Chains A and B, each alone.
Chain A
Amino acid sequence: MTGTEAYFEMGGHGAYIWPAYGLVFAVLMGLFVASRRFAGRAGREFDALNPRTRRTQEETDEA
């Protein structure tokens, strides 16, 4: 067994350690992406409804 293989083997407990770290990464990354999407969607909806930003957008479109 090479050094790298032994490292990933983690003394026979790699099957518990790596899924634990993988899950933490996946859940925290998923929450981050979902939060960014939620904030982006809410921001776009607000810009579309807000008379001030809508007017600016229409003026830009006309130009």
Chain B
Amino acid sequence: MHHFANPTRFLRLADRIQPWAASLTMAFVLSGLYFALLSSPADYQQGETVRIMYIHVPAAWMALFCYTALAVSCAAALIWKHPLASLAGRATAPIGACFTLLALVTGSLWGKPMWGTWWVWDARLTSVLILFFLYLGYMALNNAFDDPERGHKASAILALVGFINVPIIKFSVDWWNTLHQPASVIKMSGPAIHSSMLIPLFLMALAFKAYFVWVLLIRMRGEINAMKVRALRMRQVHDAEQNRSTPVASEAG
């Protein structure tokens, strides 16, 4: 992994991966939408609203995946001072925040016709809302300091403390009485969903995952260039200060 800690080497690898991520995103989105909106059947109880599951569940999975990736990069940044880890965290947070927002809103749009309400303060919904605020808090704290290093450090600590929310989200439906249904795909006894519905679900999940890689690489490129710009500006300020102080020193001499 340390081999790719070098930004130039990382960008070279990103150049190779990016077209694949873009192609896979397109392929999975098109095939996923075909199965989700055309080929898969309506549910015997939920009717056509089950089609919201094909975007709601993958978005919720991505919200948790992105936060885990954020926590891992923050840990790497704090413990090993990995040069790209802080930038990976900065690049991941907006993507995770978007997926969390999508999980919340699509869940609400699914909840209204099925539960008769847009929102309830049950453990699953509330903990996902907290996850959304954790993403916003991380991004706000990261940009709150003049010294980017202090911002990286403070926001990394917040992200790591907030990681406790990830298992709470996962097990909230088992630990508490919730209106939200318990797990029906990732469980010990195997998925409780028919394959005609599992196919679009997994295709959309793969589409979101490939999209994540694609956008992450774009944002990483931006973050690396922004870091280089900061370094060049610091050098310019340093050089200007030295040029100003040199004639004074020679006059004094």
Given contacts A28-B211, A46-B225, whether A16 and B232 have CB atoms under 8 Å apart is no
In the assembled complex, the CB of B33 is this many whole angstroms from the nearest CB of chain A, namely 8
Interface residues on B, range: 35 or more
- Return the contact of B56 from the options A20, A39, A40, A50 (Cβ within 8 A): A20
In the assembled complex, the CB of A10 is this many whole angstroms from the nearest CB of chain B, namely 4
Q: List 28 A-B contacts (CB under 8 A).
A: A10-B48, A11-B42, A13-B47, A13-B48, A13-B49, A13-B113, A17-B48, A17-B51, A20-B52, A20-B55, A20-B56, A20-B106, A20-B109, A23-B105, A23-B109, A24-B55, A24-B106, A31-B98, A31-B215, A32-B211, A32-B218, A40-B222, A41-B222, A42-B229, A45-B226, A46-B232, A49-B233, A50-B232
A3 within 8 A of B: no
| Docked complex Cα distance between A56 and B161 (Å) | 47
A residues within 8 A CB of B106? 20, 23-24
> Is the contact region of chain B dominated by helix, strand, or loop, or is it mixed?
helix
B221 within 8 A of A: yes
| Docked complex Cα distance between A46 and B226 (Å) | 7
Q: Which residues of B contact A (CB under 8 A)?
A: 37, 42, 47-49, 51-52, 55-56, 59, 94-95, 98, 101-102, 105-106, 109-110, 112-113, 211, 214-215, 218-219, 221-223, 225-226, 228-229, 232-233, 236
B residues within 8 A CB of A14? 48
